[in-house]
Structure 1
Amino acid sequence: MTRYVGSCFFTVFVLLLWCVGDIADACKCSPPHPQQAFCDAEIVIRAKVVGKKVVSNAIKYDIQQIKMFKGPDRVIHTIFTSSSSASCGVTLELTKEYLFTGRMNTDGRMRIVMCDFIQYWEDLNGTQKKSLTQRYRSGCDCTIIRCSSLPCPVSAPDECLWTDWLLADGQSGPQAKYSACLKRSDGSCAWYRGMAPSKK
């Protein structure tokens, strides 16, 4: 009996260690501003998820591409992601339309991770959708600096402080939803919301 109980305790101990290790290896990343995500991505598309299949240690999502905002001159039919959330795998809903930002693997496949900007298309507002076609691209020479606690110094004129995080709004804040960081005529960068950047 003692031997059986000891075996049970050992099994529970091993399971606890496995769980702690899994938590320690969990995916960690800071949600990007939509513009920064656009600029950093190799591919940005609007697509509908139409199928799902587990392939080895990955998940292959079949998609119907609706619009390519950035990427290769061809239609993307599949997106791959890790099957584990600890490895930054993404879970998508079938029949839903998304905006995807991601990268191209060396084998030519599009890959997404949890740290990419992935949103339901219907959840994006009009400003964000319009910015995908021009404003975000034109602001890729600027750098968006996340500001989550004061003070947040700007170290270069081509930087914009993303202060939505001061109120814990993050990607739901006004700068993320309605603003773009663009270069002004003097070479510095500034936020603007639906109008040309100031010359001051």
Structure 2
Amino acid sequence: LSVSSSCFITLFVLFLWRVEDIADACKCSPPHPQKAFCDAEIVIRAKVVGKKTVSNAIKYNIQQIKMFKCPDQVIHAVFTAPSPAACGVTLDLNKEYLFTGELETGRMYVTLCGYNLPWDDLSAAQKKSLTRRYQSGCDCKIIHCTSLPCPISTTDACLWMDWGTNNGRNLACIKSNGSCAWQGVTCPRVVGNFDFS
């Protein structure tokens, strides 16, 4: 091999190694919204109003609309990693989101491993559960079953088998009489706008 061919092969191998490294950098399954709620330190509904790069993060300025879970404070910005490969979340300006994240030194951080969806993408059952159901089920575990068999050896867990559908995301895992089980959320049928904020 010539020197140039050898250099090219070396660079190509390094490139493939870097691509594989980036692909492996952020691995997590989309969580059930109740699990994301219970695991998060802070859960809010907010509108994204600005974006700025700060050191090794992206800062999104927000207007907080509703606090679902958090110490009593107002959040003015969310921070995330600069790329999806590093689990960074990409947000659209002037759009409302549900954010589930962590607090570090007074800053809210969100990642792809959380449940950070546009508010309009949430179902009515999910919006209602944010204030009335998820918190009451935080003593329960949600076990994500990706292939059968998926045995449960405890009574404080719900098996989530939501293959190819979003139906399970509309349920809440609630403890009753000492054991946990899936429960549906009854939402009223109304004509016109109905706001669960």
Q: Using the alignment, how far apart are the partners of 1:92 and 1:52 within structure 2?
A: 9
The CA RMSD over aligned residues, in Å, is: 1.6
TM-score (norm 2): 0.87
Q: Return the offset for 1:94.
A: 0.7
Output the amino acid matched with 2:21: G
- Is contact 2:129–2:185 with CA below 8 Å preserved after alignment? no
From the superposition, tell whether residues 141 and 16 of structure 1 become closer, same or farther in structure 2 (CA, over 3 Å): closer
**Cross-structure match for 1:40:** 39
Output the amino acid matched with 1:141: D
Q: Using the alignment, how far apart are the partners of 1:93 and 1:75 within structure 2?
A: 21
Q: Which runs of 5+ in 2 are unaligned?
A: 187-197
Deviations 1:28-63 (A, max 9, x none): 001111111111100000000000001111100100
Q: Using the alignment, how far apart are the partners of 2:160 and 2:124 within structure 1?
A: 20
**Cross-structure match for 2:164:** 168
Question: Which of 135, 138, 141 is the equivalent residue of 1:137?
Answer: 135
Deviates more, 1:50-59 or 1:146-155: 146-155
Deviations 1:127-185 (A, max 9, x none): 11111002100111111111121221111111111121xx333xx2x1212x111111x
From the superposition, tell whether residues 42 and 10 of structure 1 become closer, same or farther in structure 2 (CA, over 3 Å): same
TM-score (norm 1): 0.86
**Cross-structure match for 1:111:** 109
Q: Return the offset for 1:73.
A: 0.7
Q: Using the alignment, how far apart are the partners of 1:127 and 1:87 within structure 2?
A: 31
**Cross-structure match for 1:26:** 25
After TM superposition, the runs of 4+ consecutive aligned structure 1 residues lying more than 2 A away are 2-23
From the superposition, tell whether residues 6 and 108 of structure 1 become closer, same or farther in structure 2 (CA, over 3 Å): same
Q: Which runs of 5+ in 1 are unaligned?
A: 196-200
Q: Using the alignment, how far apart are the partners of 2:88 and 2:112 within structure 1?
A: 6
- What is the DSSP-based 3-state SS (H/G/I as helix, E as strand, rest coil) of the residue aligned with 1:91? coil
Q: Return the offset for 1:88.
A: 0.7
Question: Which of 165, 172, 176 is the equivalent residue of 1:180?
Answer: 172
Map 1:49-198 → 2, pairs under 5 A: 49-105=48-104, 107-164=105-162, 167-169=163-165, 172=166, 174-177=167-170, 179-184=171-176, 186-194=177-185
Q: Using the alignment, how far apart are the partners of 2:82 and 2:40 within structure 1?
A: 21
- What is the DSSP-based 3-state SS (H/G/I as helix, E as strand, rest coil) of the residue aligned with 2:25? coil
Output the amino acid matched with 2:19: C
Q: Using the alignment, how far apart are the partners of 2:159 and 2:8 within structure 1?
A: 54
Q: Return the offset for 1:18.
A: 2.6
Number of residues of Structure 1 aligned to a counterpart in Structure 2: 185
Q: Using the alignment, how far apart are the partners of 2:66 and 2:120 within structure 1?
A: 14
Identity over aligned residues, as a percent? 58
- Is contact 1:26–1:85 with CA below 8 Å preserved after alignment? no
Deviations 1:59-114 (A, max 9, x none): 00100000000002111001001102222111111111000100011x11000010
Q: Using the alignment, how far apart are the partners of 1:20 and 1:147 within structure 2?
A: 26
Q: Using the alignment, how far apart are the partners of 1:21 and 1:175 within structure 2?
A: 33
